[in-house]
Amino acid sequence: MLTYIAEMTRKSEIARTRARRAANNRAASRAVRKRSAPRGGASEDAPYHHGALHDALLEAAERVLERDGLSGLTLRAVAREAGVSHAAPTHHFGDLTGLVSELAAIGFRQFNTAMKLAGLAGTSLTEKAMARAKAYVAYAQAHPGMYGLMFRTERIDMTRPSLHEAAGAAFAGLAGAVGASRHEQISEQALSLEQAAAIARAWSLVHGFTMLLLDGRLSDILRLLPKGTGAETLLDAMLRVTGGRSPGT
């Protein structure tokens, strides 16, 4: 009997030891998982590779901007669109001004590319100018949210290097094309009154037309046009009346 009791005691002790070891192992596993889990419940970089989140956030911001407008563009909305933690946009851009400024820089670069490609069309200065003007309007129609943001000075920080450079390149392209139409070199550092007037006239014409078009303010005029004509036809007629003067003329 004593032998039986001793044997059962030994087995019970072994069972308790195994139970303690199993419990310790489970606790250790939970601790490892807790340390490995991302803060905030979502990994900032998932599902992106390292270094890609910055660009992914900007792409998400552009989608939000075009879908929901500038009023719907918030850091949280961008994070949700990208599927990352709410802290991710702040980490990469600081605040909303930083984010929209970098987004506007992308817009200007896209716009500059479109204008350069348009400048390759046609042979005469008038044909090139009209092609650039149409490309200007076409970009705004394709990206109305981005185009509006690019000229919302109160929402963007023009001192940010990327935005300052991209916007400066857009102005340089305009000034250079206006200079070509005048058969003269226009300096980006100093303008004569006549040069400034030519640049302002060209920009005002197409920018004003574009804003009226995007805001639906040309609907009454377009409705009264002859059948088969539209906004592009109207712009073409305006440019011909002004001798083809437009952004890039």
Structure tokens at 149: 């943001």
pLDDT tens per residue, range 162-197: 999 999 999 999 999 999 988 999 987 899 999 999
Confidence of residue 240 (pLDDT cuts 50, 70, 90): confident
Closest to 136 measured CA to CA, from 65, 58, 68, 214:
214
Asked if pLDDT for residue 13 goes beyond 80, the answer is no
pLDDT tens per residue, range 61-96: 999 999 999 999 999 999 999 999 999 999 999 999
Asked if pLDDT for residue 26 goes beyond 50, the answer is no
- pLDDT given for residue 121 in this prediction: 87
Q: Which stretch of 23-32, 141-150, 229-238 has the lowest confidence by average pLDDT?
A: 23-32
To the question of pTM greater than 0.85 for the whole model, the response is: no
In order, the DSSP letters of 176-209 are HHHHHHTTS---SS---HHHHHHHHHHHHHHHHH
- The sign one gets for the Cα dihedral 38, 39, 44, 50 is negative
Q: Please name the residue ranges forming H helices in 75-214.
A: 75-82, 88-93, 96-119, 125-142, 144-150, 161-181, 193-214
Residue bearing tokens 């890039």: 248
Structure tokens at 231: 């906004």
Mean pLDDT of the chain: 83
Asked if pLDDT for residue 22 goes beyond 90, the answer is no
CA distance 148 to 113: 18
CA distance 155 to 176: 28
